[in-house]
Amino acid sequence: MKRNRLAFAAGLLALICAGFIGVRYLSFDIPSEHTQITQAEKRDLGLMTSLPIYWSEGDVFTDLGAADAGLPWVREALERRYRIMPLDLLDAGEGPGPLDQLDALAIIQPRGLSPADNAALDEWVRGGGHVLIVLDPLLSGEYEAPLGDPRHPTVSALVPPVIARWGLGLSFDDQQDDAPRLAQWGEVTVPVLMAGELSQVPGSDLSAKGDCTLSVEGVFARCMIGGGTATIMADAALFEPRESNVEAQAALLALFAKALP
């Protein structure tokens, strides 16, 4: 399906700039539990993503050297609570892996996980790790790099096989209403746009499946897997706008606080 991506991005930005109209529990100040804490109090967070949410768009070194270069708002918001460790892979082969020193991980619209990465992630979660996985079937944002450029984010999420191992499937209805809306996960409310839908699927290896609970619309799933948890979100719209307000920042931090206990 062809979409007017500029219109979608404008609609989403309007929703965020309007301060999540109708969401009353978010104040105009970031809640005290999400304000800046000391470096020593921050929690280590692994981050794997194809989106420009750790580095700005374009060439990383050019951006960092520019006088007017600014960090993406998602990174600035997360660094209130976390020490972020950007990751390109989850399995290092022989010896200690990048997940060994972490208990919190965010995988947001990744470029793809190798078979070794899938196995490492499954083992790590079962051992007590907590992961937030964001998979958007079709991104809505506009990016400087053209399609086909390796700097462009992954437009359609590559669903890791480990998701099916945990007993979940991800589908996408391209005939759904194309207006931005709000999705609820308990006390957390986030903007979504042309979201996917998570569902529980039968599997042959019942011992590998997680104990999963889905939100009403299927945008969120929370799975208890061994000693850890996996939270899957079927939309990345919250992470795409280049600008935000305090409501967007509070929603982001509330999402991470709930997904990474």
Q: In this predicted model, what pLDDT tens digit does every residue of 138-172 receive, in sequence order?
A: 998 778 777 777 778 888 999 999 999 999 999 99
Q: 120: which 2 tokens?
A: 């490492």
Is pLDDT at 109 greater than 60 in this prediction? yes
3-class secondary structure, 183: strand
Residues 214-232 have a mean pLDDT of: 97
User: pTM (2 decimals)?
Assistant: 0.85
User: 15-63 pLDDT, tens per residue?
Assistant: 554 555 433 333 334 555 556 688 888 999 999 999 999 988 754 444 4
pLDDT, position 241: 85
Residues 66-76 have a mean pLDDT of: 76
pLDDT, position 94: 78
Which stretch of 47-51, 126-130, 227-231, 243-247 has the lowest confidence by average pLDDT? 243-247
Higher pLDDT, 129 or 2: 129
pLDDT, position 24: 33
- Phi/psi for 130 (5° steps) reads -125, 125
Nearest to 163 by CA among 219, 221, 108, 109: 221
What's the total number of domains in the chain? 1
Q: What is the CATH number of the domain that holds 28?
A: 3.40.50
Residues 58-82 have a mean pLDDT of: 71
pLDDT, position 206: 64
Residues 253-259 have a mean pLDDT of: 97
Provide, rounded to the nearest whole percent, the portion of the chain with pLDDT above 70.
80
pLDDT, position 35: 60
Mean model confidence pLDDT for the chain: 84
Which helix (H) or strand (E) segment holds residue 124: the answer is helix 115-126
pLDDT, position 233: 98
Which helix (H) or strand (E) segment holds residue 151: the answer is none
Nearest to 207 by CA among 149, 166, 235, 240: 166
DSSP 198-245: EEE---S-GGG--EEEE-TTSSEEEEEETTEEEEEES--GGG--S---
- Phi/psi for 85 (5° steps) reads -115, 105
The range of the structural domain enclosing residue 206 comes to 5-259
The pLDDT confidence band at residue 242, using thresholds 50, 70 and 90, is confident
User: 190-215 pLDDT, tens per residue?
Assistant: 999 999 999 998 865 666 788 999 99
Taking phi over 0 as left and psi of -120 to 50 as alpha, with beta for the rest, 186 belongs to left
Count Cβ atoms within 10 A of the Cβ of residue 33 and give its class: 0-12 exposed, 13-18 middle, 19 or more buried.
exposed
